[in-house]
Amino acid sequence: MTMRPTIVDLAGALPNRPVAVRPPRTVAPLASLGLFALLFGLLGGVMWWLAPDLVRDWRIGNDPTPASDSRVEEARCRSRLFVLQICNVTLADDRSVAADKRTLWYVFIGTPGSERIVPLRNRSDPALFSTDLGLETRLARSATLALAAAILALCIGVALRVTQQGLQTLRAFRNLSGQRLLPVVVEIERHNLVPPRRRLWVYLYDDGSRRGRAFIELPTRDRPLFIDTSEKRALALRGERGGTPFLLDAGLNCLDLTSAEKAAFCDACRAAFAGGGKSP
């Protein structure tokens, strides 16, 4: 769907002087660092939790033998989301006086399979131990681990892309300072709460032959300068050289304007859109 004409005849409402732009942040640095730390932590944690047992089971390969000197002390499987199985098996080594114990974790998509779990060792390397359940589910566990790693890697890539786009947009907004600013109408696509007290506004704008998308964060108490009661369209400013338009907040706190200049601009907006939301 093509956006309606977006240029608004409000340029005369702005003061005839260079106006400094003080854009709010498009990406919160601490939030971005926290998100990346969380995602990388999850990726590292999943690999640390599941990869060692899986690698050991592949090393045992097709040369297992029953471990008569070990016993299954506890075995439990839980189903998540109907298809995801999370199993933990605790093996006790009867060769030691204290009966050393080791817990193996199996996470895979499928069904647990055998009801009775049998301890196994590698015939040529007895230090490698597992269970028949572990060997039976090697392929499913490998696929599940690869899927989990791919999803987390995709989330990291998306977060990196959003962060880069936000920083590029912020630089474009800062470059508006000193240019002749032209008011334009943009379409609000969505807005989401960003804890603890901010809101992310995503908006669409006419960028020649295509639709552009940009976003900024505003304090929850601030709202865009809407031009109709549906709150689907709002005012933004674009430099005379084009580029990404900058979404205005209703209080015009992002512009270096005096109180009188802000009041004059708001009066001009009310006069221009007195028709109740029709296209300018």
Furthest C-alpha separation in the chain: 90
Cβ-based burial of 98 (10 A; exposed 0-12, middle 13-18, buried ≥19) = exposed
Radius of gyration of the chain (CA): 30
**Which strands make up the sheet holding 119-122, listed edge to edge?**
64-66, 119-122, 129-131
Against a cut of 0.85, is the pTM above it? no
pLDDT category, 219, cuts 50, 70, 90?
Answer: confident
Q: Which two tokens stand for residue 125?
A: 């390397």
Give the Cα separation of 26 and 167 in Å (integer).
7
Contact of 234 with 224, CB cutoff 8 Å: yes
Q: What's the confidence (pLDDT) of residue 280?
A: 40
Compute the average pLDDT of residues 221-235.
Answer: 89
- pLDDT of 144 > 90? The answer is yes
pLDDT value of residue 11: 63
Mapped onto helix, strand or coil, the DSSP state of residue 278 is coil
Kindly report the length of the chain: 280
Mind listing the pLDDT tens digit for each residue in 231-273? 899 999 888 888 888 899 988 888 888 888 888 888 888 887 7
Helices 29-60/138-174 angle, 10° precision = 160
Residue 165's contacts (CB-CB under 8 Å, 6 or more residues apart) are none
For 19-40, the pLDDT digits (tens) are 888 877 666 666 778 889 999 9
Strands (E), the chain: 64-66, 70-80, 84-93, 100-109, 119-122, 129-131, 181-194, 198-207, 210-219, 233-239, 242-247
pLDDT value of residue 277: 42
State which amino acid sits at residue 8. Answer: V
227 near 269, Cβ under 8 Å?
Answer: yes
Residue 154: pLDDT over 90: yes
Between CA 122 and CA 141 the distance in angstroms is 19
Mean pLDDT, the chain, whole residue set: 84
Domain coordinates in residue numbering, the chain: 11-23+176-272, 36-152
- Label residue 5 by pLDDT band (50, 70, 90): very low
CA dist list (Å): 21 to 41, 61, 246, 249, 257: 38, 65, 9, 12, 10
User: Residue 146 carries which side chain, given as an amino acid letter?
Assistant: A
Position 121 pLDDT exceeds 70: yes
Amino acid 279: pLDDT: 40
**Which range has the worst mean pLDDT, 12-16, 130-134, 144-148, 248-252?**
12-16
